[in-house]
């Protein structure tokens, strides 16, 4: 499922309307006039849609991509970031469940390494934000033992 903002949805719907009329690509000048968006904002939205593989944007023309994907619309970029963070939290929690030993412990450095350099490829800031969030929710607890620092997965 792909998450998009309301403005991205408006632009995407307008592209769908003009798609038949402009099979070689809809010029962004027409899209801009129709929607009344500032060119900078429109280009940003089109680049976001392209990053999500919903459109192809090049040479100031835009076409729909061939893939059919399920789309979820949220009100703002803040809502979009929250939704994506929640998904990253879930993915991180599942990864932690795979990494813990029989006592539900995982080394701090092992966990952080997997979050930073594993499939999730989180930034330092996002990784610490997720770990802190999981601790605040009571799902993860920091433990100091004689042989190092660990996280305890609370289930």
**Same domain assignment for residues 135 and 110:** yes
pLDDT attached to residue 69: 76
81: pLDDT strictly greater than 70: no
Q: What global pTM score does this model have?
A: 0.57
Q: Give the integer Cα–Cα distance in Å for 50 and 71.
A: 14
- Which of the 8 DSSP states describes residue 139? S
- Convert the pLDDT of each residue in 85-122 to its tens digit: 677 888 888 899 899 999 999 999 999 999 999 888 88
**Same domain assignment for residues 65 and 102:** no
pLDDT attached to residue 84: 66
- Token duo for residue 32: 């801009």
Q: Give the integer Cα–Cα distance in Å for 100 and 89.
A: 16
pLDDT over 70 percentage in the chain: 96
pLDDT attached to residue 85: 63
pLDDT attached to residue 43: 92
CATH of the domain at 25: 1.10.10.10
- Convert the pLDDT of each residue in 131-141 to its tens digit: 988 888 888 89
- What is the domain range of residue 131? 76-153
Strand, helix or coil for residue 155: coil
Q: How many domains does the chain have?
A: 2
Domain final residue pick, 44, 73, 102: 73
- Convert the pLDDT of each residue in 11-63 to its tens digit: 999 999 988 898 889 999 999 998 998 999 999 999 999 988 899 999 999 99
Q: Give the integer Cα–Cα distance in Å for 49 and 64.
A: 10
């Amino acid at each position: 499922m792909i998450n998009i903002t309301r403005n991205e949805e408006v632009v995407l719907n307008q592209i769908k309307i003009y798609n038949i009329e402009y099979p070689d690509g809809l010029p962004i000048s027409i899209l801009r006039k129709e929607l009344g968006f500032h060119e900078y904002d429109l280009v940003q939205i089109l680049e976001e849609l392209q990053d999500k593989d919903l459109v192809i944007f090049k040479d100031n023309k835009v076409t729909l991509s061939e893939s059919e994907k399920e789309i979820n619309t949220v009100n703002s970029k803040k809502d979009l970031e929250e939704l994506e963070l929640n998904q990253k939290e879930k993915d991180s929690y599942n990864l932690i469940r795979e990494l813990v030993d029989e006592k539900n412990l995982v080394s701090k450095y092992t966990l952080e390494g997997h979050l930073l350099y594993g499939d999730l490829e989180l930034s330092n800031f996002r990784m610490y934000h997720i770990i802190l969030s999981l601790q605040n929710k009571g799902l993860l607890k920091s433990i100091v033992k004689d042989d190092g620092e660990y996280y305890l997965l609370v289930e």
